[in-house]
Every structure is written in C-alpha cells, then in structure tokens.
Amino acid sequence: MRKNNQTNFSSKQILLILSIVCVLLMGLSLITDKVSGPLRAVANYTIVPMQKGMNTIGLWMSDFTQNFATIQELRAKNKTLQAEIDELTVKNNLLQQDKHELERLRELYALDELYADYKKVGARVTMNDSGNWFHSFVIDKGSNDGIKVDMNVMAGKGLVGIVTEVGPNWSRVRSIIDDASNVSALVLSSSDTCVVNGDLTLMQDGRIRFEMLANNGTEIKEGEQVVTSHISSKYLQGILIGYISEIHVDSNNLTRSGYITPVVDFEHLREVLVITTTKDDILED
C-alpha cells in the first residue's frame, strides 16, 4: 500500500500540482513573455496548419447560408450601389484634382508624406476567439513574415485593431471593439482628441463608445469622422475608426461622450491588412 502511494499520486495531489503550475505560469507570464514562446512554437506546428484547412470549410458554409438572399434584395441593392458609384466617380474626380494641388502645396511646405501611405501586408483571418467574451482573432502571418507586436491592423479603409501576440506563423489581433481595447482618437473636423474604448455591452450592436471629448464649444455633429490621433503611442496617425452616431454632453459639463459606428464589419472579417511600420519606428526616426 505504501509503495503504491509513493509511485502514484492521488487525484487530489495531481489537482494541487496542476493548480500550482497554473498559478506559477500566470505569475511568470505577468513578469516576462518568455513562457509563452516555446508554447507558441508548439502551437505553430500543431494547431495552426489544421485550422487553416478547417477555416476554408467554415467560410464555404457561411457563403452557402448567405446565398439564400433573395434576388429582389440584390437587385434593389445593385440599383442603389450603381447610383452611389456614379456619385462617387464625380467626387473622386474632384478629389484627384485636389490631390494634385495638395501635393504641390506639400512640396512647397517641404512637408513629407506624414501619414499618407503606410506599407501594408495582407493576411487572412484563420481563427476567432474561442469564447464569447472577447473579440480577438488569429491571422496567418507571424514573425517569419515580419509581423511584430503593436503593429496596426486595418480592413478596407478602417482600423481593425492591434497585434498583441506573435508566433512564428501566426499572430493574434485584438479588435478595437474588444472590451479591453482603448484607442486615442481625434475628431477630424475640430481636431479635438477623445478616447475610444470597446465595450462588451455594445459589441452586439456593432458600436463602440468614445469618451473624454472636451466640451469646448466646438460644434460636433453626428456623422463626423473619427480617426486615430497624433498623440497615441501605439496607433499610427490618421487611420479612420468610424463615424459618430450619437453624442451628448456628460453630466460634469466638461466632457462629451457618445457612440461611434465603426467602418469595419467585424462580424465578417476575412482578409486584413497589417501595417508594417509601428509607431515606435516613426517616433525613432
């Protein structure tokens, strides 16, 4: 009996050992990020290749369900979109003219292209957060492709999030609608800064909250553009976040807050663009 006890732990003891291991891991990962390195490498060769295949099946299935949209719906949409295209072409022509003028003026001012074109790398979304509490996802590019922590991620014309963890062939991106996300932002028309933070209670409406917008008399209406601000330490300047959908003065009468509708459709993210310059790179230059 005694011999048996020495070689085999009872399940209570195993529970204790595993719990201590977990607590130690938590403590260690608070202090350094070296713990997750080897684990990430293991995941890189086991989970990541499989999930890529599965993801294509999932995409096919969601395509299949979306195919049931009625023809009438599509026709109506087509009509409005056609009208929109015509309108946008006219607008675009005007903007092209403006752009040439702007370039000329910039040259005059010897202003470099401060935030015009960041270099981007395309990546595919392969996996979404397993739970329902947070909104992060995994993309199929990692440190082997030059992705680093704190790189900004866009989809289409808007900001999606920021890279928080990098493995050899994958990296994790935290969306701006995630409950733990905070972005320093700027209202384009008045250049007032505010803070945009994600909130789980708003996630299902597809909205995000903004706070700390100074109540300084500038008139800010619904529908105005909000972009990332110049004072942010992580986010590059001038990336579109969304449009103000609701704004009200706080009870302290000093600040304003409200809601933003993001330009990115977070429910159907498939391809994203990772900006390969970080704010640190720019600040060092």
22 binds other proteins (CB under 8 A): yes
**How far is 279 from 117, CA to CA, in rounded Å?**
14
Residues in region 97-116 near other proteins by CB under 8 A: none
Cβ pair 148, 165 in contact under 8 A: no
**How far is 58 from 235, CA to CA, in rounded Å?**
32
Nearer to other proteins, 32 or 251 (CB): 32
247 binds other proteins (CB under 8 A): no
Residues in region 120-179 near other proteins by CB under 8 A: 126-134, 136, 138, 164, 172, 179
Cα torsion at 138, 141, 143, 144 (round to 10°)?
150
30 binds other proteins (CB under 8 A): yes
212 binds other proteins (CB under 8 A): no
The upper half-sphere exposure of residue 87, i.e. CA atoms within 13 Å in the direction of its Cβ, equals 6
5 binds other proteins (CB under 8 A): no
User: And the tokens for 183?
Assistant: 């972005």
The upper half-sphere exposure of residue 236, i.e. CA atoms within 13 Å in the direction of its Cβ, equals 28
Nearer to other proteins, 203 or 244 (CB): 203
39 binds other proteins (CB under 8 A): yes
**How far from each other are the two terminal CA atoms of the chain, in whole angstroms?**
70
* Number of neighbouring beta carbons within 10 Å of residue 188: 14
Q: b/e for 123-159, b at 16 or more Cβ within 10 A? A: bbbbbeeeeeebbbbbbbbbbebebbeebbbbbeebb
Q: Mask 179-198, x = binds other proteins (CB under 8 A)?
A: xx------------------
Residues in region 61-100 near other proteins by CB under 8 A: 61-62
Q: How far is the CB of 133 from other proteins (least distance, A)?
A: 5
23 binds other proteins (CB under 8 A): yes
Stretch that binds other proteins, among 35-43, 81-89, 228-236, 253-261 (CB under 8 A): 35-43
User: And the tokens for 125?
Assistant: 């979304």
Instruction: Name the residues that contact other proteins, by CB under 8 A.
Output: 11, 14-15, 18-19, 21-26, 28-30, 35-36, 39-40, 42-43, 46-47, 50-51, 54-55, 57-59, 61-62, 126-134, 136, 138, 164, 172, 179-180, 199-201, 203-204, 267
